[in-house]
């Protein structure tokens, strides 16, 4: 009996020993790595070391964007002893809303989240106060914060970053892979309270690559300042300026208005318009500035020369379903160079008819329109140009003068560079260097013969000397360019409005242009909102500053500019006909009888109020403009204004009435 009990006891001991042995084998051999990993997970903490984002510099090395160290506060809601007390303490120190913070921490705990960011990018004094409190459940981490030392300067070029320091706009987004760098990590051995005891291993963070832009911060400042002033002065909605080196495509300044401060986080709805880059992402109908393309195509595909006579048909041209007018009625046969200088719409259409739609379409595309320029920014628009099989009966006439086509300001700068550099298409570029390595230049493509480009350059100088662009004249430098004024089409009512896109594209000096400057103001009003009056003066200031900064030798004596210019030289309207479903009247309100106008001011009075040019306007628009000037109008008929008495530019006496004849 005793022996049997001993046998059972020995068996039980043996089985117990075997079980222990098997468990040891399982722990030490079979599942060794698994339990080792579990131990490490409890004893070791991996800390990611963020890589500082690469700086963004202007062409002279001035910092435009940089990363600076900052601290952020985190907690583990699952280990906070009392969330109510914690939210009170944190809200008071970090200047936060206690109720909102408490609710978020409760939500994080209920969802079993062990990581909750309380506040990122805290002030140094806030971090010191939290350290002094010695709260074990508070984690203060050093991170990197993106800082833009120039504030709003070049905001649309630089863009910004999100809360994870990833680029979300501009160069920050386009070059994000280079700027971001590579994060490092450190592996720490910790105690039971997760406090570091020893560092096991570490991998150094690799900083992002610095990016050097082609932008010159001095010229960028001037471009933004003048653009903002012009938008305010002409009650425009938005605008843009591009300054470009025509020989290599380097953009020296790219301004867009309205603007924003990239140091501030994006705000909902109200801030979206300010963050839109109008220079590259908002296409518009260019108007008369597009006549440069029409005449360039004519010089290469027809026998027309600058002196070739062009019949402007007395200012009236009938086309199928529409009648086209030049506001300076009575204009007859003029040289083609004068068509450009006076911006005759009928003259441009006559030239376009000789070019033909296939050739015109080909040259428009050769100049880079209807395709992205490849500028190193996200969100670029290609503009719009329908294929020739979708052109209407009068599309050739419309496109010849800048209608039925949409472009961006940077596309106009690229096109103007073709004329300025002798016929080569160069791609606009914003990035000069990555690190210490200059980016290679794209090979230019010849799109015009050199002779054609030089001839066009001379004709565009005539625009500035005695045409619609006299407000663009420079002191000490020759200059050429073209104005453009296009009425904005209201797609809801299918009518053109008395709101304009005023633009000017020009270059200087004439012998060997060093710069191209394109100015666009969107949503201007009245004759002062035309390209010659609104955009050309911006060109004058920005171009003069660019030539000074680049130290370009003067090629004219330093003679003062004339104090007054003829108002006809400042008007360059491409579209009209406010009251029809389809545009059938195209006007350019150059008027020989208009009085002198100050270079940057309104029409100067003669002996009393002067009569505006009402032709092409609806009754409502005529009455509104007359009321604004204190004039009395006697309307006759319906439709749009055709005839007025006294004529535009005449001085009227107190109480004198103006008779305006309207017709459809």
Two structure tokens written together for 259: 């603007």
pLDDT value at 146 more than 50: yes
Mean pLDDT for 27-35 is 74
Cα angle 440, 445, 447; round to 5:
155
Q: What is the model's pLDDT at position 576?
A: 41
Decide the pairing of beta strands 116-122 and 138-147.
Answer: unpaired
pLDDT tens, position by position, 473-489: 999 999 999 999 988 87
Choice among 85-99, 257-271, 275-289, 446-460 with the minimum mean pLDDT: 257-271
Q: What is the model's pLDDT at position 581?
A: 38
pLDDT value at 282 more than 60: yes
Q: DSSP secondary-structure letter at 330? A: T
Q: What is the model's pLDDT at position 395?
A: 94
Q: How far is it, in rounded angstroms, from Cα 333 to Cα 260?
A: 50
Residues 6 or more apart in contact with residue 92 via CB below 8 angstroms: 98
pLDDT value at 596 more than 50: no
Q: Give the whole-number percent of the chain exceeding pLDDT 90.
A: 48
Residues 6 or more apart in contact with residue 426 via CB below 8 angstroms: 246, 247, 248, 249, 414, 417, 442, 444
Q: What is the model's pLDDT at position 475?
A: 93
Q: What is the model's pLDDT at position 542?
A: 98
Query: At 626, is the pLDDT very low, low, confident or very high (cuts 50, 70, 90)?
Result: confident
pLDDT tens, position by position, 478-527: 999 999 998 887 777 777 777 889 999 999 999 999 999 999 999 998 77
Burial code of 151-169, b = ≥16 C-beta within 10 A, e = fewer? ebbbbbbbbbbeeebebbb
Q: What is the model's pLDDT at position 44?
A: 67
Query: Which has more confidence, 322 or 89?
Result: 89
Mean pLDDT for 562-582 is 48
CA–CA distances in Å: residue 88 to residues 72, 127, 136, 510: 18, 16, 16, 70
pLDDT value at 604 more than 50: no
pLDDT value at 361 more than 60: yes
Query: Which has more confidence, 146 or 526?
Result: 146
φ, ψ of residue 623 in degrees (nearest 5):
-65, -40
Of 199-208, 597-606, 635-644, the range with the highest mean pLDDT is 635-644
Q: What is the model's pLDDT at position 40?
A: 66
Q: What is the model's pLDDT at position 583?
A: 39
Query: Which has more confidence, 451 or 578?
Result: 451
pLDDT value at 327 more than 60: no
pLDDT value at 271 more than 80: no
Q: What is the model's pLDDT at position 169?
A: 93
pLDDT value at 578 more than 70: no
Question: pTM for the complete prediction?
Answer: 0.76
What's the per-residue H, E or C state across 167-190? EEEHHHHHCHHHHHCECEEEEEEE
CA–CA distances in Å: residue 540 to residues 247, 468, 469, 501, 507: 21, 14, 10, 18, 10
Q: What is the model's pLDDT at position 178?
A: 94
Q: How far is it, in rounded angstroms, from Cα 237 to Cα 219?
A: 23
Q: What is the model's pLDDT at position 61?
A: 96
| Sign of the CA dihedral running 298, 302, 304, 306 | positive
Ordered structural domains, the chain, with CATH: 47-213 (3.90.1310.10), 219-260+276-553+564-601 (3.40.710.10), 605-664 (3.30.10.20)
Two structure tokens written together for 195: 């406090």
Q: What is the model's pLDDT at position 612?
A: 84
Query: At 442, is the pLDDT very low, low, confident or very high (cuts 50, 70, 90)?
Result: confident
Choice among 33-47, 113-127, 376-390, 538-552 with the minimum mean pLDDT: 33-47
Q: What is the model's pLDDT at position 592?
A: 30
Of 35-44, 101-110, 216-225, 438-447, the range with the highest mean pLDDT is 216-225
Query: At 567, is the pLDDT very low, low, confident or very high (cuts 50, 70, 90)?
Result: very low
Q: Are 135 and 89 in contact (CB under 8 A)?
A: yes
Q: DSSP secondary-structure letter at 649? A: T
Which neighbouring-strand residues pair with 256? 240
User: Is the preceding omega at residue 646 within 30 degrees of 0, hence cis?
Assistant: yes
Q: What is the model's pLDDT at position 606?
A: 35
Report the Cα–Cα distance between both ends of the chain, in Å, rounded: 130
What is the CB neighbour count within 10 angstroms for residue 387?
8
Q: What is the model's pLDDT at position 373?
A: 96
Q: What is the model's pLDDT at position 630?
A: 72
pLDDT value at 324 more than 70: yes
Two structure tokens written together for 527: 């004759």
Mean pLDDT for 617-621 is 78
The mean pLDDT of the chain is 84
Two structure tokens written together for 215: 């932008």
pLDDT value at 646 more than 90: no
| Count of alpha carbons within 13 angstroms of residue 578, beta-carbon side | 21
φ, ψ of residue 189 in degrees (nearest 5):
-90, 130
Query: At 316, is the pLDDT very low, low, confident or very high (cuts 50, 70, 90)?
Result: confident
Mean pLDDT for 319-338 is 80
Choice among 123-127, 222-226, 411-415, 546-550 with the minimum mean pLDDT: 123-127
Mean pLDDT for 227-243 is 95
Query: Which has more confidence, 415 or 162?
Result: 415
Q: What is the model's pLDDT at position 603?
A: 29
φ, ψ of residue 66 in degrees (nearest 5):
-150, 165
| Sign of the CA dihedral running 73, 74, 79, 83 | positive
pLDDT tens, position by position, 382-428: 999 999 999 999 999 999 999 999 999 999 999 999 999 999 999 99
Q: Kind and range of the H or E element at 632?
A: strand 632-637
Q: What is the model's pLDDT at position 599?
A: 25
Of 101-105, 547-551, 566-570, 585-589, the range with the highest mean pLDDT is 547-551
> What strands, in cross-sheet order, belong to the sheet with 657-663?
632-637, 657-663, 640-645
Cα torsion 194, 197, 202, 204 to 10°: value is 80
CA–CA distances in Å: residue 361 to residues 381, 400, 404, 412, 449: 19, 10, 12, 16, 18
């Amino acid at each position: 009996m005793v022996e049997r009990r001993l046998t059972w006891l020995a068996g039980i001991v043996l089985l117990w020993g075997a079980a222990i042995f098997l468990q040891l084998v399982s722990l030490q051999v079979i599942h060794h790595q698994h339990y080792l990993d579990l131990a490490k997970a409890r004893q070791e903490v991996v800390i990611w070391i963020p890589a500082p984002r690469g700086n963004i510099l202007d062409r002279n090395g001035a910092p435009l964007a940089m990363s600076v160290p900052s601290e952020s506060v985190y907690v583990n809601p699952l280990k906070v002893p009392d969330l109510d007390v914690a939210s009170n303490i944190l809200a008071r120190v970090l200047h936060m809303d206690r109720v909102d913070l408490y609710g978020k921490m409760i939500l994080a705990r209920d969802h079993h989240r062990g990581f909750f960011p309380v506040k990122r990018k805290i002030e140094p004094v806030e971090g010191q106060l939290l350290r002094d409190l010695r709260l074990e459940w508070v984690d203060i981490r050093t991170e990197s914060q993106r800082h833009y030392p120039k504030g709003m300067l070049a905001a649309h070029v630089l863009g910004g970053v999100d809360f994870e320091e990833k680029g979300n706009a501009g160069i920050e987004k386009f070059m994000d892979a280079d700027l971001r760098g590579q994060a490092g990590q450190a592996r720490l051995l910790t105690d039971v309270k997760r406090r570091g005891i020893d560092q096991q291993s570490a991998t150094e963070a690799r900083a992002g690559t610095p990016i050097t832009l082609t932008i010159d911060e001095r010229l960028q400042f001037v471009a933004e300042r003048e653009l903002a002033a012009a938008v305010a002065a002409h009650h425009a909605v938005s605008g843009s300026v591009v300054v470009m080196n025509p020989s290599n495509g380097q953009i020296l300044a790219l301004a867009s208005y309205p603007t924003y401060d990239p140091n501030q986080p994006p705000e909902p709805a109200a801030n979206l318009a300010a963050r839109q880059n109008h220079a590259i992402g908002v296409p518009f109908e260019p108007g008369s500035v597009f006549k440069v393309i029409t005449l360039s195509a004519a010089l290469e595909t027809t026998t027309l020369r600058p002196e070739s006579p062009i019949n402007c048909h007395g200012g009236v041209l009938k086309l199928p379903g529409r009648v086209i007018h030049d506001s300076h009625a009575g204009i007859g046969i003029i040289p083609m160079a004068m068509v450009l200088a006076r911006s005759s719409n009928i003259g441009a259409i006559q030239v376009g008819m000789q070019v033909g739609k296939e050739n015109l379409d080909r040259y428009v595309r050769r100049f880079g329109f209807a395709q992205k320029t490849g500028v190193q920014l996200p969100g670029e628009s290609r503009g719009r140009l329908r294929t020739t099989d979708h052109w209407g009966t009068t599309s050739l006439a419309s496109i010849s003068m800048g209608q039925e086509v949409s472009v961006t300001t940077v596309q106009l700068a690229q096109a103007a560079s073709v004329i300025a550099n002798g016929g080569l298409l160069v791609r606009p570029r914003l990035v000069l260097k990555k690190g210490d390595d200059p980016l290679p230049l794209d090979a230019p493509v010849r799109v015009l013969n050199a002779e054609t480009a030089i001839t066009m350059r001379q004709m565009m100088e005539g625009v500035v000397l005695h045409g619609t662009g006299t407000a663009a004249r420079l002191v000490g430098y020759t200059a050429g360019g073209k104005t453009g004024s296009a009425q904005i089409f209201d797609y809801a009512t299918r009518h053109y409005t008395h709101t304009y896109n005023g633009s000017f594209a020009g270059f200087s000096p004439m012998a060997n242009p060093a710069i191209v400057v394109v100015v666009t103001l969107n949503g201007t009003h009245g004759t002062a909102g035309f390209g010659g009056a609104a955009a050309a003066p911006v060109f004058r200031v920005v171009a003069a500053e660019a030539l000074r900064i680049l130290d370009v030798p003067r090629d004219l004596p330093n003679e003062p500019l004339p104090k007054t210019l003829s108002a006809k030289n400042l008007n360059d309207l491409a579209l009209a006909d406010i009251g029809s479903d389809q545009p059938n009247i195209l006007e350019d309100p150059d008027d020989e009888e208009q009085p002198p106008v100050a270079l940057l001011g309104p029409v100067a009075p003669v002996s009393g109020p002067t009569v505006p040019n009402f032709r092409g306007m609806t009754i409502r628009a005529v009455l509104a403009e007359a009321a604004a000037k204190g004039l009395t109008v006697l309307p006759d008929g319906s439709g749009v204004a055709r005839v007025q008495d006294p004529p535009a530019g005449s001085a009227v006496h107190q109480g004198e009435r103006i008779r305006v004849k309207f017709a459809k």
